[in-house]
Amino acid sequence: MEGDPIPWGVVKIQNGRIEAVETEGAAQAEENLGQTILLPGLVNVHTHLDLSDYPASQNGIIDFIPWLDSVIAHRLSQSPEQKRLAIQKGIEESLRGGVALVGDISSHGDSFPLLQNSPLYSRVYFELIGLTRSRSEECWKQFASWIHSNQGTEKTGHGISPHAPYSVHKEAFLRAGKTGLPTQVHLGESLVEMELLAKQVGLLEKWLAQKGLLDKEALCDSMSGILRDLSGSRLLVVVHGTRLDFELLPSGYLAICPRTQARFEQGELPLLAACRNGWKVALGTDGLSSAPDLNVLNEARLVRKNFPEFPVQDLLRAITLNGAEQLGFAEKLGSITPGKTATFSCFPIPPDTHPGPLEFLFGSSVPCSGLMIDGKWIFQNSFPNE
Ligand SMILES: [Zn+2]
């Protein structure tokens, strides 16, 4: 299904793949799901699973610099076992929300083996961090060791993520681009980041100086320069982009995290501006250090509330096919199309819903009632252990 919803549609599955999609009456169903919306498995294009044990702070405005301090302190306090449990918790929470594919920004790439042993499809982006040359070199060595010791598979792929212009040495962008790997980068997230790049002043400059991390020679001078340095990357995804001027940049892939971006109060979500300028947008939850949960459908619900003019079909693509494309899995996932894997998330729907199933889905808080990946139910009706 890449077009309109099919009422009482029938999906034929063979060996974990979709063989055919038929309309009502065209085929006899062996398993009748009843009053259910059947969607492609959802895609959370950007998250940080290793922050899934971050102390809950569901709502409220976030001040960017104190928040950075808090995330750094949390990471430093995590033991390897706590981090492993946090990632595992994030995987389970994703599955419960009907997510079948995640793009995970991973500190030290530690989520890779855990995701590989889970039912999820994933793209794991090794996070490059370190503004000073010595920190940058150390992180690069860790990346080189990680990529050699973790074999990619059909369901779990490698990626690289130079974190952000204020936290990464400028040479790391060029190096990341030269790997040719799928890449995600946080760009244009806040006003203080823009001030630092444009004039090397402001609160972020002071914060870096206080921490002894400021190296002005290491800072990039423009967003377009960063994108140029990363041009060798396959599947380059810009994350957030709240402060970017999309009219001045060549179009590409944008990942936005509406609930997180609302809490940072850095300006309007760049959804419409990006789409107007030819960018392809997918939704992510970001990590639990800024989002209330890892349910990407809830991100779409906030978009529906704040941008009712944005078409529901496009909103569905932002949590399915566009995300699968950005993560390099569009041949297997993202739509109910013959040849793709039999990967679906299910949501109950009352009879005679008006104006339509997608309006109902995005306008309600109905939870996921089932998830199938590769033709196997991960859960149906209730999540295991609940
Ligand atoms: Zn992020």
pLDDT tens readout for residues 171-229: 999 999 999 999 999 999 999 999 998 888 899 999 999 998 888 889 988 898 999 99
The reply to whether 32 falls in a domain is no
The reply to whether 30 falls in a domain is no
pLDDT at 1 over 80: no
The reply to whether 231 falls in a domain is yes
Q: Which domain holds residue 254?
A: 39-55+64-344
The reply to whether 13 falls in a domain is no
First to last CA, the chain: 32
Q: What is the CATH number of the domain that holds 217?
A: 3.20.20.140
Q: What is the pLDDT of residue 215?
A: 86
Rounded to the nearest angstrom, the distance between the alpha carbon of 287 and the centre of ligand 1 is 6
> b or e along 124-145 (b: 16 or more beta carbons within 10 Å of the residue's beta carbon)?
bbbbbbbbbeebbeebbeebee
At 315-329, the pLDDT tens digits run 999 999 999 999 999
Q: What is the pLDDT of residue 170?
A: 93
Q: 232 or 384, which is more confident? A: 232
pLDDT band at residue 168 using 50, 70 and 90 as cut-offs: very high
At 32-59, the pLDDT tens digits run 888 899 999 999 999 999 999 998 766 7
The reply to whether 20 falls in a domain is no
Rounded to the nearest angstrom, the distance between the alpha carbon of 70 and the centre of ligand 1 is 15
Q: What is the pLDDT of residue 60?
A: 84
Q: What is the pLDDT of residue 89?
A: 97
Rounded to the nearest angstrom, the distance between the alpha carbon of 46 and the centre of ligand 1 is 6
**Total structural domains within the chain:** 1
Q: Which two tokens stand for residue 255?
A: 């990942």
Q: What is the pLDDT of residue 5?
A: 81
Rounded to the nearest angstrom, the distance between the alpha carbon of 39 and the centre of ligand 1 is 26
pLDDT band at residue 341 using 50, 70 and 90 as cut-offs: very high
Rounded to the nearest angstrom, the distance between the alpha carbon of 239 and the centre of ligand 1 is 7
Rounded to the nearest angstrom, the distance between the alpha carbon of 301 and the centre of ligand 1 is 19
Q: 297 or 64, which is more confident? A: 297
Residue 292 near residue 62 (C-beta atoms within 8 A): no
Rounded to the nearest angstrom, the distance between the alpha carbon of 332 and the centre of ligand 1 is 25
Rounded to the nearest angstrom, the distance between the alpha carbon of 261 and the centre of ligand 1 is 10
Rounded to the nearest angstrom, the distance between the alpha carbon of 295 and the centre of ligand 1 is 15
Cα–Cα nearest to 42, from 386, 338, 331, 371: 371
Neighbours of 66 (CB within 10 A): 10
Tell me phi and psi for residue 234, to 5 degrees: -85, 135
Rounded to the nearest angstrom, the distance between the alpha carbon of 186 and the centre of ligand 1 is 7
Q: Rounded mean pLDDT of the chain?
A: 93
Q: What is the pLDDT of residue 19?
A: 95
The pTM assigned to this predicted structure is 0.96
Q: What is the pLDDT of residue 58?
A: 61
